């Protein structure tokens, strides 16, 4: 959540910072602010609402002259969205400026101590405590003041800090909230995420927990929280800068749906060599893979839904028991885990707070962790014992699409690898699976060609008040993601149910005209799902079905049918999700909503 951008260098800072913040709008925010050192003192502007308000106030940054500064887009946690609560926050004199992502858990205790020492607070935020605490400890050495503050705060933070009597320096620090540092010939940068600075540099450093960076226009120094200097290796970002732009699409979400064939190809192709699955970054020996007794998949949101699918795939193909857990539940209970168990965590950003804590909890118990992430160098990528990258490139829209499809196929590959190593998949079955998984990108491309039909159908249900998604087995996993996509961008109440549970209460909600989306891609469960469709139809439902090509009999019971190409039933999710993503997209567009920035949501959930 929230966005930080900072710059110090040869160019005017404000336009660069505002441009960077615009690339972070997908993270979700309710106010924005900027602070720039103008040569004499630090000037600050902030405003509630969209970034466009701040851009207008500063004439695109032209009215704020200076070569160093920080900017922020805030997501309210402490205090309502307002000009006063917006970042940056300052000490009383305005000589120290702070922007902050995260939550300071002991801010009330710190605030009371500062008030006793005469400090006055003007906002409702936890961040203002940091500004006054820095003022209290600052005796001419900014690094010393910062490290003293960091020793005294509890919680999570990514910080950008300016001191007006150190105009040639910009400071950054982090703990449990993402922050990167970048360097170019023109200057140095801090940012919450890569897209903010991709236009200016591809050379970045990832700050680890409780590290501090001191940036000057031509160099960067790194320190521990105890002020000990450390060396860090730069990472070169391989993303194409154009991939973070809309490229003519009305919304990033639609662009990213259309990128799914390439995303799936990029995730699959490098790992299929000489007719075998070769996951070269997998740091587990075949013997270790053979000894796995149970797999725990831990994730949040859409990533969790890929895990639900993986449970069916891995248990079916490999015969290893799999438990799938929501990360926020996993970390606060006492799970029963054995030393031979494997934990798989899934996160697009690699920074999801609850999932990252699941990694740490697993390590405390002595378990190996495999991370499936998209962002190279992210916290989960660094802390997991092994990592599979999905190489989906930047995903800007809050509603995930290509970053759902990529880990899905990565999990298929992992299941196939496990099945081969453990002797559960023979040559004939493996050859069929290999053929089917390699066909997925072209099949997704074909489904994208049906967008006009789905748009026409979606237009009929723009005014829907609730939609139910039903399915059995893997179809239930698909239903979970389909319902989430619709609710998060259209604000229509939508829920997914295991179709066999209809009689146990859910069917009481079905009335004339209720839209039910029925997933029927699993051949062995097809007759059962058809009977569930008949059940809801008899109560007045209108049924949209998604079924495998050739299952014409479903047209006798469903009102509208989307057919997907033939694939192995274990891979059906990769195809069936495409029409559901498009359906949700066109419903939301038809209702006039900002598809890329759904209300109350953020791309990276980096706080609890």
Tens digits of residue pLDDT in 286-321: 999 999 999 999 999 999 999 999 999 999 999 999
Enter the tokens of residue 86. 């917006």
pLDDT (mean) for 18-32: 82
Phi, psi of 479 (to 5 degrees): -60, -40
CATH of the domain at 262: 3.40.50.10490
In a domain, 608, yes or no: no
Least confident of 17-31, 220-234, 367-381, 572-586: 17-31
Considering the domain boundaries, does residue 229 fall inside one?
yes
Is residue 599, in this structure, part of any structural domain at all?
no
Stretch (H or E) spanning 402: helix 402-421
Q: What is the pLDDT of residue 523?
A: 94
DSSP labels, 235-286: EE----GGGGS-TT-SSHHHHHHHTHHHHHHHHHGGGEETTEE--TT----H
Structure confidence at residue 607 (pLDDT):
52
Full-model pTM: 0.80
My answer on whether 257 and 392 are in the same domain is yes
pLDDT digits (tens, 9 = 90+) for 513-554: 889 999 999 999 999 999 999 989 988 889 999 999 999 999
Tell me: do 176 and 271 sit in the same domain.
Answer: no
Is 607 part of any domain? no
Measured distance between the N- and C-terminal CA atoms of the chain, rounded to whole angstroms: 11
Mean pLDDT along residues 470-494: 96
- CB contact at 8 A, 416 and 430: yes
Closest CA to 36 of 60, 12, 59, 56: 12
Q: Give 244's pLDDT tier (boundaries 50, 70, 90).
A: low
Domain range enclosing 189: 3-237
In this structure, of 32-41, 70-79, 457-466, 483-492, the range with the lowest mean pLDDT score is 70-79
Same domain, 87 and 211: yes
The set of catalytic residues is 2, 603
What order do you get walking across the sheet with 322-326 strand by strand?
322-326, 295-299, 342-347, 368-373, 386-389
Do residue 114 and residue 201 come from a single domain?
A: yes
Same domain (yes/no): 85, 156: yes
Q: Are residues 442 and 454 in the same domain?
A: no
Determine the average pLDDT of the residues in 343-358.
Answer: 91
- What's the pLDDT score for residue 164? 93
Question: Is 219 in the same domain as 358?
Answer: no
Residue whose C-alpha is closest to residue 327's, from 349, 524, 476? 349
98 & 131 share domain: yes
Whether residues 358 and 489 fall in one domain: no
Task: Point out the domain boundary residue: 399, 427, 447.
Answer: 447
- pLDDT given for residue 176 in this prediction: 82
Q: What pLDDT is recorded for position 35?
A: 95
Residue 600 lies in a domain: no
Query: Quick one: residue 473, left, alpha or beta (phi over 0 = left, psi -120 to 50 = alpha)?
Result: left
Give the per-residue pLDDT at 140: 93
Q: Tell the burial category of 1 from Cβ atoms under 10 Å away from its Cβ (0-12, 13-18, 19+).
A: buried
| Structural domain count of the chain | 3
Q: Which of 447, 467, 486 is the last residue of a domain?
A: 447
Determine if the peptide bond prior to 88 is cis (ω within 30°): yes
Asked whether residue 453 falls in the same domain as residue 441, the answer is no
Give residue 471's pLDDT band: very low, low, confident or very high (50, 70, 90): very high
Are 413 and 526 members of one domain?
Answer: no
The pLDDT of residue 47 is above 90: no
Q: What is the pLDDT of residue 19?
A: 93
What number is the average pLDDT over the span 404-430? Answer: 96
263 in the same domain as 388: yes
Report which DSSP code applies to 233. -
Q: 447, 466, 495 — which closes off a domain?
A: 447
Report yes or no on 553 lying in a domain. Answer: yes
Q: How confident is the model at residue 31 (pLDDT cuts 50, 70, 90)?
A: confident
Could you tell me the CA-to-CA distances from 530 to 500, 583, 607 in Å, in that order? 11, 22, 43
DSSP code at position 83: T
Could you give the percent of the chain with pLDDT greater than 70?
97
- 171: region left, alpha or beta (phi > 0 left; psi from -120 to 50 alpha): beta
What average pLDDT score do residues 441-459 get? 93
Rounded distance between C-alpha atoms, residue 134 and residue 136, angstroms: 5
Q: Helices (H) and strands (E) in the chain — how many of each? A: 18, 27
What does the pLDDT average to over 131-148?
Answer: 96
Q: Given this model, what pLDDT does residue 27 score?
A: 65
At 366, the pLDDT band (50, 70, 90 cuts) reads: very high
Give domain status of residue 371, yes or no: yes
Per-residue pLDDT tens over the stretch 79-132: 777 888 889 999 999 999 999 988 899 999 999 999 999 999 999 899 999 999
Question: 3-state class of 90 per DSSP?
Answer: strand
Report the CATH number that the domain containing residue 157 is assigned in CATH: 3.60.20.10
């Amino acid at each position: 959540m929230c966005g930080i951008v900072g710059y110090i260098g040869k160019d005017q800072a404000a336009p660069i910072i505002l441009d960077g913040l615009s690339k972070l709008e997908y993270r979700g925010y309710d106010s924005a602010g900027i602070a720039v050192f103008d040569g004499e003192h630090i000037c600050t502007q902030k405003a509630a609402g969209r970034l466009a308000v701040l851009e207008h106030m500063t004439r695109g940054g032209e009215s704020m002259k200076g070569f160093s500064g920080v900017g922020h887009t805030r997501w309210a946690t402490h205090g309502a969205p307002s000009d006063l609560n917006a970042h940056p926050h300052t000490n009383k004199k305005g000589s120290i400026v702070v922007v902050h992502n995260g939550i300071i858990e002991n801010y009330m205790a710190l605030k009371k101590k500062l008030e006793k020492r005469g400090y006055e607070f003007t906002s409702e935020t936890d961040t203002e405590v940091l500004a006054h605490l820095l003022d209290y400890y600052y005796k001419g050495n900014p690094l010393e003041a910062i490290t003293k503050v960091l020793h005294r705060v509890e919680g999570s933070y990514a910080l950008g800090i300016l001191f007006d009597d150190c105009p040639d320096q910009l400071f950054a620090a982090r703990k449990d909230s993402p922050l990167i540092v970048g360097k170019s010939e023109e200057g140095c940068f801090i940012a919450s995420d890569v897209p903010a600075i991709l236009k200016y540099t591809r050379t970045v450093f990832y700050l680890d927990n409780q590290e501090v960076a001191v940036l000057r226009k031509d160099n960067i120094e790194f320190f521990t929280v105890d002020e000990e200097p450390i060396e860090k290796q730069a990472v070169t970002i391989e993303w194409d800068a154009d991939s973070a732009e809309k490229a003519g699409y009305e919304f990033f979400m639609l662009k990213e749906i259309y990128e799914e064939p390439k995303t799936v190809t990029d995730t699959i192709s490098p790992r299929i060599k000489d007719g075998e699955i070769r996951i070269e970054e997998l740091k587990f020996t075949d013997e270790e893979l053979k000894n796995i007794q149970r797999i725990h998949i831990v994730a949040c949101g859409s990533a969790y839904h890929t895990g639900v699918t993986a449970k069916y795939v891995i248990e079916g193909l490999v015969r290893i028991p799999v438990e799938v857990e929501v990360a926020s539940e996993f970390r606060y209970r006492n799970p029963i885990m054995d030393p031979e168990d494997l934990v798989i965590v899934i996160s697009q950003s690699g920074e999801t707070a609850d999932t990252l804590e699941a990694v740490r909890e697993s390590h405390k118990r002595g378990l190996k962790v495999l991370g499936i992430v998209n962002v190279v160098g992210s916290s989960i990528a660094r802390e997991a014992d092994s990592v599979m990258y999905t190489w989906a490139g930047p995903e800007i829209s809050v509603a995930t699409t290509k970053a759902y499809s990529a880990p899905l196929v990565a999990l298929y590959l992992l299941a196939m690898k496990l099945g081969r190593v453990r002797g559960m998949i023979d040559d004939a079955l493996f050859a069929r699976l290999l053929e089917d998984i390699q066909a997925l990108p072209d099949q997704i491309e074909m489904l994208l060609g049906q967008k006009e039909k789905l748009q026409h159908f979606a237009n009929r249900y723009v005014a829907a008040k609730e939609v139910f998604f039903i399915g059995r087995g893997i179809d239930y996993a698909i239903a979970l993601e389909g319902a989430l996509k619709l609710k998060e961008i259209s604000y229509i109440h939508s829920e997914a149910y295991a179709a066999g549970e209809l009689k146990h209460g859910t069917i009481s909600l079905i009335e004339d005209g209720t839209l039910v989306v029925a997933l029927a891609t699993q051949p062995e469960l097809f007759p059962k799902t058809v009977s569930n469709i008949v059940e809801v139809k008899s109560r007045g439902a209108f049924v949209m079905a998604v079924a495998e090509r050739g299952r014409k009999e479903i047209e006798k019971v469903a009102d509208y049918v989307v057919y997907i190409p033939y694939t192995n039933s274990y891979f059906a999710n990769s195809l069936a999700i495409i029409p559901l993503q498009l359906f949700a997209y066109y419903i939301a567009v038809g209702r006039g909503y900002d598809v890329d920035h759904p209300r109350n949501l953020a791309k990276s959930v980096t706080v609890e």
